[in-house]
Structure 1
C-alpha cells in the first residue's frame, strides 16, 4: 500500500446563509482545535476580501487567535497576498506571531490580490507596495527583516540605517511561496523556499510547476532540499451520497465565481439541492468535481494517497468544504469537522 501523506488544513472561514461573521469564526476555531487534537500538521488561513461567503480577510489576526487556542499544530497564512501589504508590516506581524507561538508559525506568501480591482486599490491606497514587478525584491526584504540580523537601508545621505522586524528574534517563521504558475515555481526555486502549488483552485499545470521547482531548486541554509505540499478541496462523510450533498454549496459558489455571477453567502445544503437546473453552472461543477475529493472515508483516503504519489509530496493540505444542513448550529460546521475526523482515522 502507498504510504499515507501527512495532513494539514487550509481554511477560508466560510460564511453560509443564517451565519454571522462571529458564527463563522467560532466554527473555524472549533475546526482548528479539532485539527490540533487529530494530529494535523498545520492550519493555514487564506486572505480574501469583500466576499460574502468568506470571512478570512486578515490572516495574522486569525492566526493569533488560533495559536492561543491550540497546543501543538503549526499555524500560518495560505497566504498573505503581498501586493496588498508593505513588506515591513508583514515581517513585523509574523515576527510578533513567532514570539507568541515560538516554532509554530508559517508565513505563506502569494502574489495575487485576493480580491477585485476596486478592493485592491483601497488596500493599496497608502503607498506603492502593489508593484507586482517588485515581488521578488519584497520577498527578499521580508526574509532579511525577519532574520535576527535584520536588514540595512542606505539613506540618500549615505548613512546606513538598520531595520529589524522585532528587537531580539529567538527564531523566525517558516516562509513558503504560494502560486499556480511557472513564475511562482521558478521564484521559489531561485530563493530556496518551500513551494505550494494552488491545486485547490488551479489544477492545470501541476506537474510542470513541480518539475520546474525541483529541477531548478537552489539550496538555501534554511532549506537545503526542495519542499512542497499540495492543497485539495475535500468533502468526506460516512456515505458518498452525504459527501456529495455537503460538497454542493461550495461547488455552486465556485461555479458562480467562475461564470462572473454575483457572489452571496454559501447556500445551505437544502438550498443547493432545491436550486433550479443551470446547464452552464453544472458543466463548471462537473469539471471541478474531477479534482475535488468527494466520497466516503476509504474512497477519499485512497484518492488522497494517489494524488500525493502523483505529485511526489508527503503532505496534503485539506480544504474542508463540507456544507451544512439548515438544522445544524450556526456556530459550527459539522461537515468540515467530519471531513477532518474521517481522513485522520483513515490516513493517520
Structure 2
C-alpha cells in the first residue's frame, strides 16, 4: 500500500447567499486547517468572468495564504500562462519564492480559465497556439533560473528578484496535450481527473515514458486532482451529491442566474440529456462515508500509480467542507 499524500485544490467557490469576500475568508481559514492537518500542498485556481468563483488572481491570493500558514506548500493550480506575459509571471513567482523559500509551487495551465473573449482582453497578444505556449515555458524557466540564453532577450532582461530556491514547476493537464510539455521541460505533472475522468492513466504513462530530467526534477512526478466529499452521515452525503450534480450542470449551462434552493434542487426533474451529463460528471468526484471515500481514493491512486491526490471540496456549509478534509486527514494520518 502506498503512503498517499493528500493536497488541497481551492477554487474559492462562492456559496448560495454568500459573496466573494466570504469565500476568500474561508480560503484563509482552510489553508490554516490544511497546514495543521499535515496536507502536502495547497493550490488556488485562476478563473475569469465566472461569478461563482472568487479566485481570479492566484499571484495575489498565494502570499495571503502562505502568510497565514507555516509549513504547507502553497501555489497555483494553476496560472493560465497564455493570459499573462512571461516576464511578469516570472517576477511574481520570483518574488513569492523569495518571500516564502521552499514553499511555493508554480502550477502552469494552458486553458484560458474562462471564455476566449476574457482571455483576449487579459493578454491581447495571446494567440492560443502551442508554439506560443512552448516559447512561454522556455522563457519562464530561463527567467527564474537566471539563464542567459544566447541571442535572446535573456541576455539583456532579468526577472528580479531571482530566488535562491526556485518554485516547483508543475504543468496542469486534463486532456493530455500539456503532458508532453511537462515531459519535455522536465516539469511535474498534475492531471485534472475532476475535469476529465477519461484517459488519465494513459496520459500519465506517456508522460513518464517521455520524461526528460531537468535541473529541478530528476524523475517524473505526478499528482491527480479529484472533487471529493466525506461525511459520516449518508443522508448528508446524498444531499451534497444532489447539490453538486446541479452545480456542475449550472456551470456547464454558463452559470447564469442564481442557484436554486436545496429543496428546489432535490425536487428537480432532469431531461434525458441532463441525466446523461450527471452520470458522466459523477466520474469526476468521490463522495461517501469515510470507508467508501478511502477505498475510492486508494483505487484512484492505484489506477494512476501516484502517491499524491489533490482534493477539491466544495460545500454550502463551510463546517461540512472543513469536516470532510478532517476525515480524509484521519484516513491517511497526515497530522
TM-score by length of 1: 0.89
* 1:14 matches 2:13: yes
Distance 1:308 1:268 in 2: 35
SS class of match (1:196): strand
* 1:301 matches 2:294: yes
* 1:252 matches 2:246: yes
1:90-129 equivalences in 2 (<5 Å): 90-125=89-124, 127-128=125-126
Distance 1:288 1:130 in 2: 27
Distance 2:132 2:77 in 1: 20
Distance 1:342 1:124 in 2: 41
Distance 1:34 1:206 in 2: 30
1:47-126 equivalences in 2 (<5 Å): 47-125=46-124
Distance 1:109 1:283 in 2: 31
Supply the RMSD in Å over aligned alpha carbons: 2.0
- Mean CA deviation greater in 282-291 or 11-20: 282-291
Label 1:59 to 1:167 Cα distance change in 2 as closer, same or farther (>3 A): closer
* Alignment match, 2:182: 188
Distance 1:70 1:228 in 2: 24
Distance 2:247 2:219 in 1: 38
Structure 1 stretches lacking a partner, 5+ long: 325-332
Post-superposition shift, 1:286?
Answer: 2.0
SS class of match (1:290): helix
Distance 2:164 2:90 in 1: 14
Post-superposition shift, 1:264?
Answer: 4.4
Distance 1:214 1:170 in 2: 28
Structure 2 stretches lacking a partner, 5+ long: none
Query: Are the aligned partners of 2:148 and 2:155 in contact in 1 as well (CA < 8 Å)?
Result: no
Distance 2:47 2:126 in 1: 20
* Alignment match, 1:41: 40
Distance 1:190 1:144 in 2: 15
Distance 2:257 2:42 in 1: 25
- Mean CA deviation greater in 105-114 or 284-293: 284-293
Post-superposition shift, 1:84?
Answer: 0.4
Distance 1:3 1:241 in 2: 31
TM-score by length of 2: 0.93
Correspondence for 1:144 among 134, 142, 145:
142
